[in-house]
A = this chain, B = another copy of it.
Amino acid sequence: MMMLLQQTTSVTKLSVFSKSDFCFKHCSSSSARLFFMDKHTNSSSSSSSLKQSFKQYQSPVLACHASTATNDTSLRKDYLPVHGVSEVIVGVLGGGQLGRMLCQAASEMAIKVMVLDPLVNCPASSIAYDHMVGSFDDSETVHEFAKRCAVLTVEIEHVDVATMEKLEQQGVDCQPKASTIRIIQDKYLQKVHFSRHGIPLPDFMKIDDLEGAKRAGDLFGYPLMFKSRRLAYDGCGNAVAKNEEELTSAVNGRMFYTEVQFLKKLVSHLGLTTLVFLYAIDEQQFTLGGFARGLYVEKWTPFVKELAVIVGRGRDNSISCYPVVETIHKENICHVVKAPAHVPWKIREHAIDIAHKAVSSLEGAGVFAVELFLTKDGQVLLNEVAPRTHNSGHHTIESCYTSQFEQHLRAVLGLPLGDPSMKTPAAIMYNLLGEDEGEPGFHLAHQLIGRALNIQGTAVHWYDKPEMRKQRKMGHITIVGSSVGIVEAQLKSMLKEEGSETQNAVSPCVGIIMGSDSDLRIMKDAAMILNMFGVPHEVRIVSAHRTPEMMFSYALSARDRGIQIIIAGAGGAAHLPG
């Protein structure tokens, strides 16, 4: 590992490391620990109705009964008198910030939400009705969890769908349906599905071999976007071939020749001292890994804006769309959401129409997020759908009559859907992403929060994640106000101060860049070593699969800020212009 530091000399050179040069800690799914944080049995014996109902719902028989009546709007009314809104225990696979906010919405109505998450201190743990500690990707654990709740839902789509299907066959009530999760998990299936339902998409094509890839190139032109069908998110699992010569390397994840050539050029062009290039990619997960893994290609879609629509769907198939928002991604992570989107009325109508159709075509109740591209020529194309609450809907907590989290609960419980319209004319959501590792990161976030609390109409959400990591979603800030102009100005003033303060901090002299936060587990080793030696540095996600200029502009800005060394993860360096 010391080699890295030895590279920071004044001699311009380029070193390429492979991941095998480093030590990785992998989590084995077979070692998934399972225990149940029973919040209710540690209290003194009590005859509270809450505990009674809880015990009743622990029975797997009851859970099966409940699940057969998928269109029943008053679940289990024959079994138990209802105290309050609902007695049904909602089980959520995943206990991250989405689970946490679901629990918060549930708390107002005293709805009981249980979460399944491997982390003892996951964000949802402290306020969930109960937290089962275990993996939502482990069949046995999910089975055990399902026994304890009456409706099963998700806050993440990367769950064990085969187990969900088995559970459904056994009568467990899953909302949305496992069939929906299966479609969403496979991006190609998703495209085929939506295409069959007449939903406008970027052109796409399944490819099985190099010949297919070539045909696709001939048909769609270059650059050509390759995507892996599964476990792809935040730009991971994507690759771009800029010409026919790059097809093989793009598909097999061995695109490094081009990159190395480019990086060499960059080093000399910018006069950087050193560029340490970490081959930081776990092929299994983060490259396409060849045709055998399942690939498809998409025609390159230059967009002018990214839009999103949150859609609620009831057990009775009623559908309710939230206003169209504009999502602004920074280095592939959702950064800012503006509600409503500043686009012509016709575009909004069109977006709502597509979102409505897309969700209508899926099975099961809940909230769905429909991500869309708006092209230069005014086309609205579906990008992808998330079968759950979504970052683009966080603003609804403060700005809409019914938040996306309450809506999801209403939907899966068979309650009438709430009103998705905005009760304030405008809202802007800003993600609190980790700006540094550990305590310095917490300090920076705390400073920003301090400024936010002084701004009118601001609500601060903090997810209480025990660990701070760079680019990690730690919380968010929503500003609501009487016009888009006002909330934008307020956000600006909040961030302006931030900028001026950052300038007073020590300037970084090393930049660590990567394609997505999935590379962090490798790249953080580099950051750790720099920390050990007190070398000021910055970590940025610079993913270039859609805008190849991004890394170039990062490198330019880094030079202007006095950064002499850039350490690049392959994810960040991939797909750069030659």
Q: Which A residues form the contact surface with B (CB < 8 A)?
A: 35, 37-39, 42-44, 46, 48-50, 74, 81-85, 104, 107-110, 120-121, 126-127, 129, 133, 397-398, 401-402, 410, 415-416, 418-419, 423-424, 439, 442-443, 445-446, 449-450, 453-454, 456-464, 466, 468, 474-475, 480
- How far, in angstroms, from A416 to B458 measured CA to CA in the complex? 12
**Which one of B456, B463, B468 lies within 8 Å of A110 (CB-CB)?**
B463
**Which one of B129, B454, B461 lies within 8 Å of A108 (CB-CB)?**
B461
Q: In the complex, given contacts A38-B42, A82-B443, A104-B107, what are 5 additional A-B residue pairs having Cβ atoms less than 8 angstroms apart?
A: A37-B42, A39-B39, A109-B461, A110-B462, A418-B458
The 8 A-B residue pairs whose C-beta atoms are closest, nearest first, are A84-B462, A110-B464, A110-B462, A48-B466, A48-B121, A82-B446, A419-B456, A401-B457
A423 and B84 within 8 A (CB): no
**Which residue of chain B is the closest to A82 with respect to CB atoms?**
B446
Q: How many copies does the complex hold?
A: 2
**Which residue of chain B is the closest to A41 with respect to CB atoms?**
B42
A460 and B85 within 8 A (CB): yes
**Which one of B85, B415, B445 lies within 8 Å of A84 (CB-CB)?**
B445
- How far, in angstroms, from A480 to B402 measured CA to CA in the complex? 11
**Which residue of chain B is the closest to A397 with respect to CB atoms?**
B108
A121 and B82 within 8 A (CB): no
Some 19 contacts from A to B, beta carbons below 8 A apart, are A35-B44, A37-B43, A44-B120, A46-B120, A48-B466, A50-B121, A81-B439, A81-B442, A84-B474, A85-B446, A85-B462, A104-B108, A108-B459, A108-B462, A401-B456, A401-B457, A401-B480, A416-B454, A419-B457
**Which one of B43, B46, B462 lies within 8 Å of A109 (CB-CB)?**
B462
**Which residue of chain B is the closest to A461 with respect to CB atoms?**
B108
**Which one of B50, B120, B424 lies within 8 Å of A423 (CB-CB)?**
B424
Hey, which chain B residues are within 8 Å of A468, CB to CB?
83
Hey, which chain B residues are within 8 Å of A107, CB to CB?
104, 107, 126-127
When A423-B424, A449-B84, A462-B110 are in contact, do A120 and B43 touch as well, CB less than 8 Å?
yes
A460 and B109 within 8 A (CB): yes
Hey, which chain B residues are within 8 Å of A85, CB to CB?
446, 449, 453, 460, 462
**Which one of B44, B74, B104 lies within 8 Å of A104 (CB-CB)?**
B104
**Which residue of chain B is the closest to A49 with respect to CB atoms?**
B466
Hey, which chain B residues are within 8 Å of A133, CB to CB?
44
When A423-B424, A423-B480 are in contact, do A446 and B84 touch as well, CB less than 8 Å?
yes
B419 and A466 within 8 A (CB): no
In the assembled complex, the CB of A469 is this many whole angstroms from the nearest CB of chain B, namely 13
**Which residue of chain B is the closest to A419 with respect to CB atoms?**
B456
**Which residue of chain B is the closest to A401 with respect to CB atoms?**
B457
